[in-house]
Homo-oligomer: A and B are copies of this chain.
């Protein structure tokens, strides 16, 4: 079992880091190799179960599988698996919950891509481009239903918490929608940013950790600690996402660069840039309000944001939440599961896509 030659090892490493990082902690490679050994079998089991989602002849099923087949990082299922490893382990119940969380995540991406009129996702054409908006909307609905049925089958008392998470996600989407193209006052921008991140990203990570913990029969205190870990990981993850959108002008992330800015979304770097350089406000307001932003102005503003110190502040936000995540882990027993979560938190800072 040479780690570097088997696909599963490669996949875990690349999913969490995607880079031979030069800026990460000295031991991250070794940590990732350990993490891989620890979750490899779980991830294989998870992927085998995910592959069983019925394909069917219907266009909604094809649209759903279009995105499921462009396999993502599977980070939320890894969260379920790792939480479960503090207790009974990644058994059939935990596996069902891991599949469910990935289906919910995929459903939200399908709806997001319709709403954002996105062309690319994971380096490939979006489902809405290939199958149309209607099929993508119904495909998202179909996956949500499949996820909820699965949760109901393995752990009925987790259906309501998942519905509460989906509710949070929808209200966060709503805030983002209302804010699109509109530049509110800076303090309000900052508040709205965190509301959106908590609802759109952190809530589902929190559920994933909670689900793994419940399936594995952990105590209430340990479950609560793992939920807090999920929250911090989610915010860190989103902050790095925001940074990546600005960091490069190429397509290394599999999405269009500057997609958030082009879609009129105010992400953390933009909030900070406005705080640092209030004189930018009219230019950014004009850019956000434009349906077809001028490419030259788009890149000019991206350069100003980069030179304003906003990316550094965004990284600091991510680091603050990684520290939060690591702090919470102190409340959990020492061992390979805890070490694995340390690695996931550290690696979240180092990913390139």
What residues of chain A have their CB less than 8 Å away from a CB belonging to chain B? 56, 58-61, 111, 114-115, 132-135, 137-138, 141-142, 144-146, 148-149, 152-153, 156, 159-160, 163-164, 166-167, 170-171, 173-175, 177-178
Contact = CB atoms under 8 A, between A and B. Distances in A.
Given A142-B167, A163-B152, A175 B111 contact: no
Given A138-B173, A145-B170, 20 more contacts: A59-B177, A59-B178, A60-B170, A61-B174, A111-B141, A114-B133, A114-B134, A115-B134, A132-B177, A134-B177, A135-B174, A137-B137, A138-B174, A145-B166, A148-B148, A148-B159, A149-B160, A152-B163, A153-B160, A159-B159
A163 B143 CA distance: 11
Contact of A137 (B61, B111, B149): B111
A222 B156 CA distance: 27
Contacts of A170: 60, 138, 141-142, 145
Given A142-B167, A160-B152, A174 B58 contact: yes
Closest 4 A-B residue pairs measured CB to CB?
A58-B174, A60-B174, A115-B134, A142-B170
16 contacts: A58-B174, A58-B175, A60-B177, A61-B174, A111-B137, A111-B141, A114-B133, A114-B137, A115-B133, A133-B133, A141-B144, A141-B170, A144-B144, A145-B167, A148-B163, A153-B160
Contacts of A144: 141, 144
A146 B166 CA distance: 10
A262 to B, nearest CB: 16
Contacts of A135: 174, 177
B141 A152 contact: no
Contacts of A178: 58-59
A338 to B, nearest CB: 34
A177 B141 CA distance: 15
A223 B142 CA distance: 27
Most buried by B among A61, A170, A171, A173: A170
A166 B152 contact: no
Nearest to A167: B145
Given A137-B114, A137-B115, A156-B156, A149 B163 contact: yes
A137 B167 CA distance: 13
A60 B137 contact: no
B134 A163 contact: no
Contacts of A156: 156
Contacts of A114: 133-134, 137
Contacts of A137: 111, 114-115, 137
Contacts of A148: 148, 159, 163
A136 to B, nearest CB: 10
Contact of A138 (B60, B111, B153): B111
A93 to B, nearest CB: 17
Nearest to A60: B174
Nearest to A153: B160
A54 to B, nearest CB: 11
A56 B167 CA distance: 13
A351 to B, nearest CB: 28
